[in-house]
Amino acid sequence: MRRFESPWMNPKLFCGAGLLLAIVALGIIGRLFWNLDLAYTGAAPLKLPPVGFENLRGQEGAWTYPIGTDGSGRDLLALIVIGAPNSLFVGLLASLIGMSLGIFLGFSAGFIGGRTDDIIRVLSDVMITIPPLLILVVVQSAWGDVSLTMMALLIAGFVWQSPTRLIRAQVLSMKQSGYVQMARLSGASTMHIMFREMLPNLVPYLFGSFIANVTTSIVTAVGLEVLGLGPQRIPTLGRTIYEAINAGALIQNLWWWWGIPTLLLGLMFIGLLLINLGLDEVSNPRLRKLQ
């Protein structure tokens, strides 16, 4: 009998985490072994195709720029090595801040109740109806250039609502549960009940919500970048796509320029989705398949 078979040994979870780690590894290894100066304008010949392809001018791809270059002479590999971790970073940071806010507000609302609960609930319900992109576009166009961290902070202002609601609901139902009553009988403090009795049982939900938030945050960040907003001086996947579209890469058949960043974003989302599905199976044993 395999008694210690952990539900965390989940193939979907592993594939998803593997994909994301691969993107992080690309950033780290790339920084070590690739010349990042190639990300500056004019560092390379213009519009070179990836190795093994030919562009409209009949130029062949070269190993010095293995996945081609863009319209202003930047090496795409260098752009991706810098840009892919940046996009992931914005997503993770925004989600982390949003989650922390959500945990704090959700616990406050569920535990304190009364007026506090009313305010937090109404606030999160109203915020959930406002499309974040709309506000962010306005804010960022007024702001001009922003840093990655600043963008993450702005996005975080729009991803705390759903964890707040989720945690509030769970806290409300857990507050009535037998083991919380038992803990109160045992003379446990409010802090102990919140963080030692309730929070551990929320972990699978928190993880799930966190990953969903990372996805939302990345989508929002890329959305802004593709519109030409967001950080102006730092290469990101979204900005690369924006420049490709702006320079007419679609008409000139420069598919690698927009295609490779898009492919990378796709992989990132698939990774996040797999992690989310895996976590779902971890927290909900009914979804687990029998061997």
Partner 1 sequence: MNVLDVTDLSIDFPTARGVVHALADLSFSVARGRRLGIIGESGSGKTTTALAVMRMLASPGFVSGGSIRLGDQDVLTLPEDRMRRTRLRRVSYIPQGAMNSLNPVMRVEDQLKDAIVAHEGRTERDALRTRLADAFAGVGLPEHAGSLYPHELSGGMKQRVCIALGVILNPDLVIADEPTSALDVVTQRQVMQTLKDVQERIGAALILIGHDMGLMAQTVDELVVLKDGVLVEHGDTRRVIEKPHHPYTRELVASVPLVGGESFLGTSAAAQEITRSRKDLALLEFENVQKDYAGITALHPMSFSLSGDEPRIISIVGQSGSGKSTMGSIMLGFNPPSTGRVLFEGRDIARMSPQQSRVFRKNVQAVFQDPYACFNPFYRVDHALGFPFRRFGYATSDAQVQDRMYEACQAVGLDPDLILRRYPHELSGGQRQRLIVARALMLNPKLLIADEPVSMVDASLRATILKNIYDLKDSHGISIFYITHDLATAYHVSDYVMVLYKGQVVEAGPPKEVIGDPQHPYTQLLIASIPWPDPDREWGGTTTAAEDIAALDAMDHDAPTVFRGDVPGFTLDVGK
CB of 10 to partner 1, least distance (A): 13
Interacting residue ranges for partner 1, rule: CB under 8 A: 1-2, 5, 177-179, 181-188, 197, 200-201, 288, 290-291
Token match 């593997």: residue?
A: 18
Kindly give the residue spans of alpha helices, DSSP state H, lying in the chain: 11-33, 76-112, 114-129, 132-143, 148-156, 161-175, 178-185, 190-192, 199-226, 237-246, 255-283
Structure tokens at 243: 């420049």
CB of 190 to partner 1, least distance (A): 12
Nearer to partner 1, 57 or 288 (CB): 288
Cβ atoms 98, 124 nearer than 8 A: no
CB of 199 to partner 1, least distance (A): 9
Nearer to partner 1, 3 or 233 (CB): 3
Amino acid at 97: I
Nearer to partner 1, 197 or 243 (CB): 197
CB of 2 to partner 1, least distance (A): 8
Nearer to partner 1, 143 or 179 (CB): 179
Cα dihedral sign, 56-59-65-71: negative
Closest CA to 214 of 160, 266, 263, 272: 272
Nearer to partner 1, 2 or 233 (CB): 2
Nearer to partner 1, 183 or 267 (CB): 183
Cβ atoms 136, 220 nearer than 8 A: yes
CB of 282 to partner 1, least distance (A): 14
Nearer to partner 1, 147 or 189 (CB): 189
Compute CA distances 229 → 86, 132, 222, 226, 240, whole Å. Answer: 15, 14, 9, 7, 12
Cβ atoms 287, 280 nearer than 8 A: yes
Compute CA distances 168 → 36, 61, 276, whole Å. Answer: 46, 56, 21
Amino acid at 12: K
